[in-house]
Amino acid sequence: IPISENLLYFSTVLDGQVKLVRSQRQAGLWQAPVEATGLPEAAAFQYGNGVFSPDGNRFYCTQCTEPNISGRGGIGLRASCNLFVLRRDPNGVWGPPVRLRSYINMPNHTVMHPYVTQEGGKELLFFSSDREGGFGGLDIYVCERPLDSEDLDFSFPQNLGNSINTAGDEVSPFFDSDAQTLWFSSNGLPTIGGLDVFKSVRLAGKWTSPENVGFPVNSPADDFFFTLKKNGDGGFLTSNRTAGPKKTGTRDEDIFEFVPKNPPVTLTGRVLDRSSNRLLNFCMVALYETDTHETPRLLEVRPSEDGTFRFLVLSEHQYLVEATKDGYQSASVRPNLTDYEVVLSLNRYNSTQRPDPVFTNQVSSQNLPDNSLLAQGDSQYKIHLEVQPDFDALQPRYELARNFGKVTAEPLPAQGIIRVMLGDFPDQKTANEIAIALRKSGSFPQAFVVKEERKGQ
């Protein structure tokens, strides 16, 4: 648990018991760990696999029945584990460990590896569990509670789905709320060996296909508990890999620190109204990597309330930045990383470019697009994404939409514009859910469902 650049909390086995300890870095060297003070002492309680809430007033941890939970990230022995929380009062005094509700700590099942973050007035709790209804082994779940609540009533845990979870084990989640990126370890996805670290981005409520982060973070051994530093300059992970002459075996797990070869730099920018040259409030800005992929790879999507934005980037990579806002045409730029500042100017749609809010089309059944979700009745449903003066199917922003179906262009010659559509979909409910997700993502804030009546049946 990195508290600051030079202070690290972690769990270790002392005198046969798992305890929370701390180590400080002095003159560039980490000092011998000492037991953390302030938390209540409990002879029968072990502070394993813990995390502090962002405000520092809650500490979530794992308590297992087995005295030694080391090995494969605490999953090797299949110990029976539960999640507990300690709360700090206004005077700074920590209360006793309290077991979370039984719908989180389900009887006869293991729950471990908590991670908490805050967004949208809520506290999100991620964890790993072998509870019923999963895909096999340990799966990653998430639940939430209002930040203004003092009780322990989280929502019912939701499985992150088969985009993340496999028939194997998925453990040690770490969620970067700003980047909407989940980092976790898995032995059910293709790995270099054992548990490997993967990452996935949350877009429109869905998770992108997990990406193995590769060497040197991963190794032929087990690699887990990936954690980023708050300043973005590297992080920590736990591994049982060999490490030179001092560690030739893989029985014990150690903490490793990693830093990028070239430290990240801050890319800043502004989104402007082209006609007034003023900052555009409440827009969405997406960052793509372009140097190693045939099509740009989406890295992050962030809202901007004031028209400014910042991303941490690596100077040896190439990127594309795209800005979108309701009522405006999108704009993108490939930044010159010698300046580290970009400006995107958006053109407002004129009155002839704005789509009608709802309409019904009639189309011939002989010219329907190839789509596995095609409706078989007299009606079909599509999603109107946007209108543009021209259409480029390779534009990075359509990558998200293509996760849901086929993106097509429908020219409107009388108006001199092109309508960009997604689908078909088998029913209105499915189309509505996807349209809502696309609007919430900020990529297509005007997305709406179109019902088309088919002729020629």
Mean pLDDT along residues 403-408: 84
- pLDDT (0 to 100) of residue 327: 80
* Model confidence at 5: pLDDT above 70: yes
277-286, 292-301, 391-400 — which is least confidently predicted?
292-301
Here the tokens at position 435 are 């349209």
- pLDDT (0 to 100) of residue 350: 66
- CATH 2.60.40.1120 fits domain 265-346: yes
pLDDT tens, residue by residue, 89-104: 888 888 888 999 999 9
Mean pLDDT along residues 275-297: 82
Give the pLDDT band of residue 354 (cuts 50, 70, 90). Answer: very low
Q: Which among 60, 39, 37 is positioned nearest to 50, based on CA atoms?
A: 60
Q: What percent of the chain has pLDDT over 70?
A: 82
Give the pLDDT band of residue 453 (cuts 50, 70, 90). Answer: low
Q: Which amino acid is it at 109? A: H
The three state secondary structure string of the chain is CEEECCEEEEEEEECCEEEEEEEEEECCEECCCEECCCCCCCCCCCCEEEEECCCCCEEEEEEECCCCCCCHHHCCCCCCEEEEEEEECCCCCECCCEECCCCCCCCCCCEEEEEEEEECCEEEEEEEECCCCCCCCCEEEEEEEECCCCCCCCCCCEECCCCCCCCCCEEEEEEECCCCEEEEEECCCCCCCCCEEEEEEEECCEECCCEECCCCCCCCCCEEEEEECCCCCCEEEEECCCECECCCCCCCCEEEEECCCCCCEEEEEEEEECCCCCECCCEEEEEEECCCCCCCEEEEEEEECCCEEEEEECCCCCEEEEEECCCECCEEECCCCCCCEEEEEECECCCCCCCCCCCEEEEEHHHCCCCCCCCCCCEEEEEEEEEECCCCCCCCCHHHHHCCCCEEEEEECCCCEEEEEEEEECCHHHHHHHHHHHHHHCCCCCCEEEEEEEECC
Mean pLDDT along residues 387-405: 77
pLDDT tens, residue by residue, 47-66: 678 888 888 889 898 888 75
Indicate the fold that domain 360-455 takes in CATH: Alpha-Beta Plaits (3.30.70)
- Every domain of the chain and the residues it spans: 2-258, 265-346, 360-455
Taking all residues of the chain, what is their mean pLDDT, rounded to a whole number? 79
Which residues are registered as beta bridge partners of 256?
237
Give the pLDDT band of residue 295 (cuts 50, 70, 90). Answer: low
* Model confidence at 362: pLDDT above 50: no
Residue 386 sits at the vertex; the CA angle it makes with 380 and 387, to the nearest 5 degrees, is 110
CATH of 2-258, one of 2.60.40.10, 2.10.109.10, 1.10.3720.10, 2.115.10.20: 2.115.10.20
Give the pLDDT band of residue 73 (cuts 50, 70, 90). Answer: very low
